Amino acid sequence: MIIKIKYRTSFGVISAMVLLVFLLSHCINNPKIDKEADANDLENYVGSEKCANCHRDIYEKYLQTAHHLTSQHAEKEYIKGSFEKDSNSFRYTPYLSVAMEKRDSSFYQVIYFRNDEKMAIRFDISIGSGIMGQSYLNRRQDHLYQMPVTYFTAAAQWSNSPGFPDDKVLTDRPVTSRCLECHTTFAKGVEGTAMEPLSFPADKMILSVGCEKCHGPAAMHVDYQTKNPGDTVAKYIVNPSLISRQLQLDICAVCHGGKIKKTKPSFSFTAGKNLSDYFIINDISETAMSSGEVEVHGNQYGLLRASKCFKQSNMTCNTCHNSHQNERGNSVLFSNRCITCHDVNQNNFKTTAHTGVADITKNCIDCHMPQQPSKSIAVHLQGESRPLASLIRSHYIGIYPEETKKFINKK
């Protein structure tokens, strides 16, 4: 009887310990903020400027990133392209053109037919950092429309907006909440339905992809930390480094996951949640990979997941990217991050291609993540019959023999 009691006691202690370990690991992988903020309520957001009060250095570096610049009020400093005569227009036909003009304190796309002005559309919001190009939105009674002319950086000129007809000016392509979900921190939609709102009041939008996109709505966090400055453990906020690998990836995949289909209203998902609870995820198939049907723009997450590097490690997007800083174009920096996993002294690293190029470790990405033409970012330049595509770096990390030949021949 005594033995039986001891056995039960030991079993109970062990069970309790196992349960405690499980609960602790669950909390570490999925930290819960004490009160959950409604991601669809503007009152729960404060904007990135508030974060600067305590995180000034990070904030100032963030201002140089593509995330910050991806949507801004259409002021001159945020509009790429010239407004100077002889370089400020796009001509569709000998009789039809759109000119970019400054009038008073605003900028307009002005439609001319046989030199007569037909319509002036104001630039209200710029979309895109300008690295690849920039599109623009016009606001009419709180309805947002994509403007007909885009700036295409590769050619340093105005172009027809992607997907627009090349023989007429389209002024009524509506901007959806799903578009805004990837180009703003928050936009409260009204009219229409919860799934597909029709209008977006300017005072209910937070432009740029800001701090709260990756850390969650911060009003409760700011309020608590302001009242309790001595508490160094952040409350009511998500620290992506403390959540599970998949939850970290989900934060990026909401915008970099390709054509995922929402099952709940836009902006319902927020950092720390499971993306699959809000979207139907479109995984990349082997067939699509082998046939070259995968779009390099938009589905960086899917391409990364298909890569051997991803499958054989615990890497996330933040393994290579510091989202707080502008690191674009720094091939040496990114290559150094490759080398943290790939030992240059191992025999499997000493391939013919690697040993044939001096300082090969300073540029891994041009061979293994080459730039490829985008199918979705392709524009018609003035006078050209075929669209010109942006070159975007593939996030499928692999072996590209032809790209390797090009790289070696340049050396």
Query: Over 70: is that where the pLDDT of 94 sits?
Result: yes
Reported as a pLDDT band with limits 50, 70 and 90, residue 408 is confident
For residue range 372-405, what is the model confidence (pLDDT) as tens digits?
Answer: 988 888 888 888 878 888 889 999 999 998 988 8
State residue 286's pLDDT score.
60
State residue 259's pLDDT score.
86
State residue 28's pLDDT score.
40
Query: Over 60: is that where the pLDDT of 9 sits?
Result: no
Mean pLDDT of 201-222: 97
For all residues of the chain together, what is the average pLDDT?
88
| CA-to-CA dists, residue 238 to 7, 31, 182, 221, 267, angstroms | 42, 8, 19, 10, 16
Query: Over 60: is that where the pLDDT of 5 sits?
Result: no
The percentage of the chain sitting over the pLDDT mark of 70, rounded to a whole number, equals 88
Residue type, 386: R
State residue 298's pLDDT score.
80
Cβ–Cβ < 8 Å for 294, 392: no
Output the pTM of the full model: 0.86
Strand-strand pairing, 279-280 and 71-73: unpaired
Query: Over 50: is that where the pLDDT of 103 sits?
Result: yes
Least confident among 45-49, 77-81, 105-109, 355-359: 355-359
Mean pLDDT of 301-318: 94
Reported as a pLDDT band with limits 50, 70 and 90, residue 265 is very high
Least confident among 5-14, 210-219, 316-325: 5-14
Cα three-residue angle 210-65-153, rounded to 5 degrees: 120
Cα three-residue angle 235-239-245, rounded to 5 degrees: 140
CA 86 – CA 28 distance, rounded (Å): 60
Mean pLDDT of 295-303: 85
Please give the backbone phi and psi of residue 327, each rounded to the nearest 5 degrees, phi first. Answer: -115, 10
Query: Over 90: is that where the pLDDT of 313 sits?
Result: yes
Q: Dig out the tokens for 336 from the structure.
A: 């150094």
Query: Over 50: is that where the pLDDT of 1 sits?
Result: no
State residue 326's pLDDT score.
95
State residue 2's pLDDT score.
42
For residue range 15-26, what is the model confidence (pLDDT) as tens digits?
Answer: 444 444 444 444
Domain boundaries, the chain: 71-175, 321-410
Mean pLDDT of 128-135: 93
Q: Dig out the tokens for 166 from the structure.
A: 């090349």
CA 215 – CA 211 distance, rounded (Å): 6
381 pairs with which residues across the strands? Answer: 159
Q: Dig out the tokens for 240 from the structure.
A: 């992506």
For residue range 49-78, what is the model confidence (pLDDT) as tens digits?
Answer: 999 999 999 999 999 999 999 999 999 999
Cβ–Cβ < 8 Å for 275, 257: yes
Query: Over 80: is that where the pLDDT of 253 sits?
Result: yes
Reported as a pLDDT band with limits 50, 70 and 90, residue 411 is low
**Furthest-apart CA pair in the chain: how many Å?**
104
Cβ–Cβ < 8 Å for 148, 164: yes
Least confident among 20-34, 154-168, 268-282, 301-315: 20-34
Residue type, 316: T
What is the 3-state secondary structure of the chain? Answer: CHHHHHHHHHHHHHHHHHHHHHHHHHHHHCCCCCCCCCCCCHHHCCCHHHHCCCCHHHHHHHCCCHHHHCEEECCHHHCCCCCCCCCCEEECCCCEEEEEEEECCEEEEEEEECCEEEEEEECCEEECCCCCEEEEEEEECCEEEECCEEEEHHHCEEEECCCCCCCCCCCCEECCHHHHHHHEEEECCECCCCCCCCECCHHHEEEECCHHHHHCCCHHHHHHHHHCCCCCCCCCCCCHHHCCHHHHHHHHHHHHCCCCEECCCCCCCCCCCCHHHCEECCCCCHHHHHHCCCCCCCCHHHHHHCCHHHHCCCCCHHHHCCCCCCCCCCHHHHHHHHHCCCCCCCHHHCCHHHHCCCCHHHCCHHHHCCEEEEEEEEECECCCCCCEEEEEECCCCCCCHHHHHHHHHHC
Between 345 and 186, whose confidence is greater? 186
Reported as a pLDDT band with limits 50, 70 and 90, residue 287 is low
Reported as a pLDDT band with limits 50, 70 and 90, residue 285 is low
